[in-house]
Amino acid sequence: MIGCGLKCAKILIIFFNIILWITGAGLAALGVWFTIDDDFKKQSDLFQDSELFPEYFPYIMIAAGVLILMIGLIGCCGAVREHQTLLGVFILCIVLIMGLEIAGCVYVYLNRYDILNDMERDLKNSLKKYYGASDSKSEAFTEAMDYVQREFTCCGIQVLRGVARIILWHALVKIPSHVTRCCVKVVD
């Protein structure tokens, strides 16, 4: 009877580690994709001055994915070899990760309005500073903003409809009359 329980626990730990491996590999692959994908690079230019989304965010994803893969390997090796030390390290890592995830979720939930306001403020400041200017950093930002607006069929930052969003956009950015951007085209 005890042998059956241990076999079930061993199988569950191995199954859980396979899920961990898939998750870690997926996270690392997503980080690599964000690093090499041109569309993501265009969209990430929107937050070039933001503290919320640093340039190295994809590399953090890659590192987290590799760490999860390593933790899964420790757990799988501990389960297959029935090595108590490896299993103890695995359980400690899992408890620490769960604690960090819970703390992160609570922090984001409690500060969700501040985070959204900071994102909107950063984007508005970047719009005023970079949109339509002629240096290379500004051109990248303008191209990214135009790309996002075309892809999401929006105009500006806030979700407004019709003439209100065009007026808000023009008041915020002060688009020169010679610039034909996607928001300017909406005024029909």
What mean pLDDT do residues 65-91 have? 89
**pLDDT number for residue 167:** 46
- Tokens at 100, concatenated: 């960090």
| Mean pLDDT of the residues in the chain | 76
Q: Average pLDDT, stretch 75-98?
A: 89
Rounded to 5°, the CA angle 182-184-187 comes to 115
**3-16 mean pLDDT:** 83
Q: Please tell me which residue, 188 or 15, carries the higher pLDDT value.
A: 15
pLDDT at 138 over 80: no
Q: Are 95 and 102 in contact (CB under 8 A)?
A: no
DSSP structure class, residue 94: H
* pLDDT for the residue numbered 51: 62
Of 76, 75, 68, 69, which is closest to residue 97 (Cα–Cα)?
68
Say what the pTM is: 0.60
Helical (H) or strand (E) element with 111: none
Predicted confidence (pLDDT) at residue 59 exceeds the cutoff of 60: yes
Task: Give the integer Cα–Cα distance in Å for 4 and 68.
Answer: 29
pLDDT for the residue numbered 166: 46
Q: Where are the alpha helices (DSSP H) in 82-188?
A: 84-110, 112-130, 136-152, 162-173, 182-185
d(CA 36, CA 144): 16
The number of C-alpha atoms within 13 Å of 81 and in the hemisphere containing its C-beta is 11
Give pLDDT, residue 154.
Answer: 66
For 6-22, the DSSP string reads HHHHHHHHHHHHHHHHH
- Quote the pLDDT of residue 185: 46
pLDDT at residue 96, as a whole number: 93
